[in-house]
Each structure stands twice: as structure tokens, then as C-alpha cells.
Structure 1
Amino acid sequence: MLLRNKRNLIIAGVVVICLIIVTVFFIFTGGKNADDYVEDYFALLEDKDYSKMYDMLSDDPKVDKDVFEERYTNIYEGIEAQDFSLKINSVEDDVVDYSLTMNTVAGKVTSNNQVKVTDGKLAYNEALILEGLESDYRVRVSSESATRGRILDRNGNELATQGEAYEAGLVPGKLNGEADYERIGSLLNMSSAEIKDEMSASWIKDDSFVPLKEFAKDSSGQALVNQLIAIPGVKVNTTTVRYYPYGEATSHLTGYLQQVNAEDLEKHKGEGYDESSLIGRSGIEAAYEADLKGSNGHEIRIVDEDNELVKTVASKDVEDGKDITLTIDVTLQQSLYNEYQNDQSASVAMNPKTGEILALVSTPSFSSNDFILGFDNEQWQALNDNASKPLTNRYRSTFVPGSSMKPITAAIGLDSGAIDPDKDLKAEDRWQKDSSWGNYYVTTLHAPTPNNLRNALIYSDNVYFAKAATNIGKDDLISGYDRLEIGSKIPFELSLNASQYQNKDSDFDDQQLADSGYGQGELLMNPVQLAAIYSAFVNEGDIIQPYLIMNEKPDQMWVENAFTKDTANTIKDDLIGVISDSNGTGHAIYHNDIELAGKTGTAEIKASQDDTTGTELGWFTVMTTNSDNPILITTMVENVKDRGGSGYVVDHMQAPLNSYLYK
């Protein structure tokens, strides 16, 4: 009995001791297994908390903490490691076999390793950082920059491409100290303080080349080179830059590049941008940034102490950017720019049968090359303070259309049955619906007799179209505008401001209704949309969908049956009269060998009917009707008052139109 009790006591004691051991283990380990500690370790890696990672290593890690943190930082930031994923393959005798997968600058990398865990501490080995790494090995990352895609016109002419520029810089060991900074700065439009700031970088050595500024590689640039290299320590190299061969003529269209900012880096995280990257900031450069940019090539290698290759960890081939071919005819683009370059204008040229945009011009303009080579403060300020606003892209904007809307009013009226094209509305120089308008009258410069639709379009009679809009009525006129998508987002590769027929919360009273009939009121039209609507008059009532990227023609019309076939043909015939009739407002551009149709427009911009200080916008749309070389051009010019009104636009349309028709 005593023996049995003694045996039971021994068993109980063993159990108690085991429980104590287990309890102590749980107290010191928190109940974790070896693989749990490995998971904790790499969770800290995601947060870049290298200090706490070091604290999880065994008491004899064989590496100094500062060295450990610096090594992890340099390697993981160098390979741009992110999005870590850990897989525990097996655990045996507290040795954890794992695979760590991460995304890097050279693609996905999986690092396989084993680590011993003792009392919650990991035994350090270099492969914890990267498989194949040893203490005297280094990780190297090499890169090959992608060539940005070109922007081409329909004939393969380069609108944006790779070019060369001069790059001036300093070699510190060859300078006369800071004695020549002022002289160098005066040549490069930099202050001595700016040069000192550039020369204060920690990486600079006596034989380093410290770049200061890029400038054009042309005759004036060569003259500057000759002055610069006469100064000790100044060196000038040739560098590759983005180049826009047609300068101001295409800059609003192509857009330009700028160096990325913090917002860009955050927005495009993981897309291969760094602090030195350029990004499309406007125009085609911005809209097609993802296609044009390409993807840099990268290779991650482990090398030994002699810089000999040990292992290629990952590699990614360079992918050059794609070329973007536009429907633009750069010869026509240049011609329109040359004619209106001194005006504040917008021009849209298109093939009215296909919708291909042949030219998109905004004047005055700027040169995209200046954004590449850089502005000094004075140049940038002058560009922004220019009263003509060369940075404003006018073909994106909306403007009061004036008489350019009359054919549209007429077409809506014909389709609604409110306009009888042969009816004489009685010629009047001034008119009001009734006495409720007080002193407000619609006036016109030309009141033809008979006062029918054809004559009203040929002579551009405001009163006729005010009466016509009143007869159409508010509901039918607005319904017509809505059918034409006026006020809706314009489907186009570049962002365009939406047109409108009334302001928000507008009452659209009878007076506004009448004014809308001849293109005033609260109407604002985008030039691209106005041109597209005019295409309906040579497409039996269908509005063509404009497009800008070659071989990407939309599958369907923008608005099918916007007008009936009969209405479209009636308006087309009347617009032919605007050009062919000697009394027509567009007769100055008449061609006896090519049938043209068109409409002028003069929009008044003033505070009230009595305001004599306001300005005027001039419009002109001209199009072929049966040519083998179809074209439609819409141009708007600001400030044409006392310069011939819309006649100024007509006169300057001759050269661009002829350059295209007779090429």
C-alpha cells in the first residue's frame, strides 16, 4: 500500500514538473511556435521596422545593429521591395523553412531560406535578407531606361520625339572656387545662390560633373556653349531630351512633360516612377501617358567582394513606349497656326465624312520645348502674365457662338414644323415680341426681302432667327439642343469643356429664347462640338463622331438622325448660298471649282444691349460638300470688333483651306 502511494506521488510529481515546464515555456514564449516568430519578424519588414527586427535576433547576431539596419534599408529600398508574402514550408526541430515573395523593381522575387528559432529568437544569417546573400556580398541593381514613344501625325511626321540638347554643368576640381559663379549664372539665367545650392550635394567629388541647366542645341545654343567653355570648370555635354519639332504650332495638342511631384509619385505608386521621372502634364502626352511612357528594364544581381556575379536574382526587359499616331495633318495644323498666331483663336479641322480630326489649333501658344529645357522665374512669370493667355487651350473651351448657331436653329425649326422655309417673316431692322420686353429689341444689320429662311442665312438676319426661335418655342428648342447633346460630355480623346444652352437655374424666358435663336442668350459652344454638328448637313442629318487617334474610328455616328435628311439637305443648300451668293457673308472664300458651304458668326460680348465697350468674337465654319478631299474647318477668333468682325476670320481662312484642297 505504501509502495503504491509512493509510486503515485512520483507520477504526480513528474506531472507537476511537466506542467511547470510548460507554464514557464508559455510565459516566456507567449504560447508561440517557431513559425509564429518568423511570421512576426517578416511582418516588421512590411513596416520597415528594422530596429525591432534586429531585437528579434539571437543574442549573438554576428552583425552590428547599425550595420544591420543600413544593410536592410539599402537593399530593400534599392530593389524597391514591397507587397511581401510569407509561406511557411515546414518546421522541424525549431528550424523553419520558408519562402518570402515580394514585388521588386525587376519583378516578383521569391527568396527561400531556413532559420533556427531558439526561445523566440532568430539565428541571423544573411539569407534572411535575400537568398544567396553572404556577409561580404553586395546587391546591385542596374537599369535601362525605356525610350518614350513618339507622337506622329497621319503621315508619319514626328510631333514629339527624342532630340538632343546641350547640358551645362560644373566640375568642382577645375573651378576657380566660387569666383565665377556670378558670371556662369548670368549666362545660364541662374543666381549665384542657386548654383551654390546645386554644388552643395553630398555626392559631389572633385571630378564629378554637376549638371546645372539644359538649353537648345541650335545656333544660339552653340554661341552660349562658346562663352561657357571659356570659363574654367564649366563643361557642356550633349544629352537626350523630349523634342517637339513643330514648337508652338502643335504644343497645345501634344502637351508637354514635367518632372514628377510628390502627388504624382503617390498617385502612380508602383508604376515605375521615381523622383527624376518625367510625366505627361497636358495634351496627348498626358492623355496617353501609360502608352507613351514604356517600362524601364531592371536587373537585380548578387556580386561577391570582387564584384563578380554570384547570382541574378531577377530581371525585367526594357519595354519602350508605344508610338501614338494622330489623325492630324501637320501641314494644315501649321497653316492654321500661321494665319491666326497673333490672335486669340481656336481652330478645328475635320474630315466631315469620317470624323478624323485634321487640325486642333489654339493661339497664341507656347513651346513645349521650353517646359523640357526649363524656364527661369522671369520667363515663367512673363508667360503667366501675358494678357493674351498663351497657356489657355481655347479649343477645349466654350464661347458664345453668335450667328454660327443660326443653321442649327433653322434645322430644329424645320424638323419641328415651326419653320416654313419659304414663308416671308417680314424684314425688320429691330423687333420685340411684345411690350413686356420694355426697351429691349433684337436688332440686325441686314434684313433681306423676301425674309425667308434662305435669305436669312445668306444675309445672317438676327431678327428672323429671333422670331423663328419664338415660333419653335422653349420646349421644342431645348428638346432639339438635348438631341444634339449640347450640354452633355463630349466623347473625345482629349478633355473638352461641355457646351451649354442655359446657365444653371436659368428661367429661359421669352427674351432668352429669342436671343438663343441667333446664338446669343446663354449659349456657349465648344468648337469641336460645333464642327461636329455642322457635319450633319453633309451627312444627311447624322452627326459624325470626331476622333483623334489614327485607326481607332468609332463604330457609330455620334448622333444618328440628328436632323431629317430633307432638313439637312435644305440647310446645306442654304449654306452653299452663304458662300456662292455675292451677298453672302462668306462669299469672300468662294471657289468656282469646288463647292463650299459655310456660315459666319459674330458674337457680342457685352454687359447689356446699350454697352458700347464690349468686344466681339468672330466665327467661320466652311466645308466641302462633294469633294474627293472632304474637309470642314471651324475657327473662332476673339476681339474682332473694328477688325472686320467675322469677315476677318473668313479672309484668313483662305490660305489654310487652299493649302489642303490643292495639296
Structure 2
Amino acid sequence: MFRFSEGKKSALGCFLLFQLSSLFFFTPLYSQNHSSKTITPNSETSEELILVTEVSSGKPKFEKAYGASEFLKREYSPASTFKTYLVLSLLENNVIDPEEKIECADKHIPNSPRPLDLRDALFYSSNDYFEKVFPKLGKDKLDITLHKIGYLENSKSNIKVKDWWIDLAGLKHGGRIRLTPKSVHSSWSKIFENGYGLNKGIMEEWKKALFWSECPEQSANVYGKTGSWEGSFWFQGALVKSENDYVIYTILNRSKSGSRTGTIIRFYEIVGCKVPSLE
């Protein structure tokens, strides 16, 4: 049996205390071959929730939630993440040319007014773009898409597809729709596992519109969508190495000091990729 002097006991106690305290300050967000990095909790806010789904070929799906667990029990506006599914409906109904540039004058977009194509409109979350193209689609066709993909199936507030509409301006946040973070995350995850059963052509166009940046640091591509409404700042991201090797993230920040740009930067910090130009 090993015996320790009082001095050694004291040193051992300090070491164990440090090891224990490190559990509270260093949270491994993921442990897969995309990055060996661990991240620390956001020291600036406790009002952040991060949902993660990891898919790696030959391994079980990994799903985890980190941060403000109380947010999981509540429903929030999906904000502009809703535009992700508006775009799907536009593509399915073949009412736009994704490459066509439309002059848009959103105040939040740098160098506005400026011409935007579909990918630009999602990247900058243009409200003007979608208000201009929506009349070619119409609510009825959009409702068919939302119903088909089960977008409101898990809504605790029991909003029906036919009842979400407020007005044209409501397109930027999904009108009356309120969803839990898990529901918002699930809808996003299904895109990358083709959980909607869409044909290859539509999926390719959809992902092309959702593309954000290359990430040579992780040998991957980043796809994403922002959302800001009613005090919620969302970033939904996907770090994709291959069809069967990717990690999906949903970040919800409800801090009073939160921002669209800050949430974007937070995602890129987590995945270990360089932030693309937001101009």
C-alpha cells in the first residue's frame, strides 16, 4: 500500500481539485475526426444552446445538447431559418432561376442596394429578395411543401400549416410558427441525410443555395442559415466532409448582447474554420 506524507497529500489534493474543476470549464463539444478540438463554454453568456448531430460512416449517430437546457422546453420563432424551406418550395415548383440576380435593397446587407442570386439571398438573409419572388410561388404551394416535409409536426402550440400566415413581411420569420430548438434542428439535420426523400437534382440545388464556405482546415464544406427575430439569434450549420461523414449544428443565442454576426462567428469558432467575408 502506498502512503503519502502530509505534503504529498496536499499536493495530490490540489491536483485532484484542478482535475475536477476542469470538468466545469472545458466541455468537449464533439470527438470525431472533423476536429480534435474541445471548446469552452461561452464566458460572455449563459443564454446559449448548442445542438449537435454527428454522422460518421460505420459509427452510430451521435446527438447531444450543450448549454442552456431550459431552452429545450420552450418554443421560439424559427426566424429566417424558415427561408430554408421557402427555398425548397421555390426550387420544387421551378418558379425561379437560382442564378438570376435580383436587385435588393435590404438595409442590413452591406453595399445595398445590390443584385443577389438565390445563394446570395440566403447567405445575407435578404427579405426583399423573397418578397419579390414569392408571388410566383404563392402560399398554397408553399403550404404543400411544408406539409409534405412535416415542418410543423412537432409544434407544441399546434399551429397548422394553413394557419401560419400573417402577411408577406412574415415570410422573414415564418409568421405564427413557433418551434422547439430540437424541432428546428431536426428539420435542418434531415436535409443532409436526405430524410425528406427528395430527388437528387432538387437536393443538389438546395444544398448549393445553402452553401456558406469551404473549410480547408477540416477538409470540409460549410452550409448554413442564420435567423434573428424576437430576441433569438440562430445559426444552423453543417460541416460536411462527405455524404456519410458530417456534423450538424444548431446554435440558439438569446443573450441581450447577442447578434447575427456574433452567432456566425461562434459557429466558425466551434468547428475550427475560417469565417468567410460577410460583406
TM (norm. structure 1) is: 0.33
Q: Which amino acid aligns with 2:165?
A: F
State which of 77, 84, 99 in structure 2 corresponds to 1:407.
Answer: 84
Structure 2 equivalent of residue 623 of structure 1? 238
- Note if 1:648 corresponds to 2:273: no
SS in 2 for 1:630: strand
Distance in 1 between residues matched to 2:160 and 2:237, nearest whole Å: 27
Alpha-carbon contact 1:621-1:634 (below 8 Å) kept: yes
Alpha-carbon contact 2:220-2:240 (below 8 Å) kept: yes
Residues 199-238 of structure 1 mapped to structure 2, 5 A cutoff: none
Structure 1 equivalent of residue 192 of structure 2? 538
- Identical counterparts, % of pairs: 15
Change (3 A) 1:574 1:340: farther
Q: Which amino acid aligns with 1:636?
A: L
Deviates more, 1:339-348 or 1:631-640: 339-348
SS in 1 for 2:28: helix
Structure 1 equivalent of residue 61 of structure 2? 356
State which of 209, 213, 231 in structure 2 corresponds to 1:579.
Answer: 213
Distance in 2 between residues matched to 1:355 and 1:566, nearest whole Å: 28
Alpha-carbon contact 1:422-1:453 (below 8 Å) kept: yes
Structure 1 equivalent of residue 219 of structure 2? 594
SS in 2 for 1:403: helix
Alpha-carbon contact 1:401-1:602 (below 8 Å) kept: yes
Q: Which has the larger radius of gyration?
A: 1
Distance in 1 between residues matched to 2:113 and 2:79, nearest whole Å: 19
Deviation (angstroms), 1:637: 0.3
Distance in 2 between residues matched to 1:336 and 1:359, nearest whole Å: 14
Q: Which amino acid aligns with 1:451?
A: L
Alpha-carbon contact 2:236-2:250 (below 8 Å) kept: yes
Deviation (angstroms), 1:640: 5.2
1:597-651 superposed Cα distances (whole Å, 9 cap, x missing partner): 232424222xxxxxxxxxx32111221222475211111101355x4x1221222
Structure 2 equivalent of residue 417 of structure 1? 94
Residues 410-449 of structure 1 mapped to structure 2, 5 A cutoff: 410-429=87-106, 444-446=108-110, 447=112, 449=114
Change (3 A) 1:453 1:484: same
SS in 1 for 2:87: helix
Alpha-carbon contact 2:51-2:65 (below 8 Å) kept: yes
Residues 316-335 of structure 1 mapped to structure 2, 5 A cutoff: 331-332=28-29
Deviation (angstroms), 1:500: 6.6
Distance in 1 between residues matched to 2:171 and 2:91, nearest whole Å: 13
Alpha-carbon contact 2:91-2:206 (below 8 Å) kept: no
State which of 466, 475, 485 in structure 1 corresponds to 2:150.
Answer: 485
Alpha-carbon contact 1:419-1:468 (below 8 Å) kept: yes
Residues 27-42 of structure 1 mapped to structure 2, 5 A cutoff: none
Alpha-carbon contact 1:448-1:461 (below 8 Å) kept: no
Deviation (angstroms), 1:333: 6.4
Deviation (angstroms), 1:337: 6.7
SS in 2 for 1:623: strand
Deviation (angstroms), 1:348: 0.8
SS in 2 for 1:331: coil
Alpha-carbon contact 1:398-1:525 (below 8 Å) kept: yes
SS in 2 for 1:517: helix
Residues 18-167 of structure 1 mapped to structure 2, 5 A cutoff: none
Structure 2 equivalent of residue 583 of structure 1? none
Q: Which amino acid aligns with 1:331?
A: P
Structure 2 equivalent of residue 524 of structure 1? 178
Q: Which runs of 5+ in 2 are unaligned?
A: 1-12, 15-21, 32-37, 274-279
Change (3 A) 1:475 1:648: same
TM (norm. structure 2) is: 0.71
Change (3 A) 1:468 1:361: farther
Change (3 A) 1:451 1:341: closer
Deviation (angstroms), 1:247: 6.9
Change (3 A) 1:456 1:352: farther
Q: Which has the higher contact order (CA 8 A, sep 6+)?
A: 2
Distance in 1 between residues matched to 2:156 and 2:40, nearest whole Å: 24
Distance in 2 between residues matched to 1:340 and 1:402, nearest whole Å: 25
Structure 2 equivalent of residue 279 of structure 1? none
Distance in 1 between residues matched to 2:122 and 2:157, nearest whole Å: 23
Alpha-carbon contact 2:41-2:67 (below 8 Å) kept: no
Q: Which amino acid aligns with 1:358?
A: E
Deviation (angstroms), 1:487: 2.1
Q: Which runs of 5+ in 1 are unaligned?
A: 1-217, 220-244, 250-329, 366-392, 430-442, 490-496, 544-559, 581-589, 606-615
Change (3 A) 1:423 1:501: farther
Structure 1 equivalent of residue 248 of structure 2? 632
SS in 2 for 1:460: coil
Superposed CA RMSD in Å reads: 3.6
- Note if 1:456 corresponds to 2:121: yes
- Note if 1:565 corresponds to 2:229: no
Alpha-carbon contact 1:481-1:501 (below 8 Å) kept: no
Residues 143-292 of structure 1 mapped to structure 2, 5 A cutoff: none
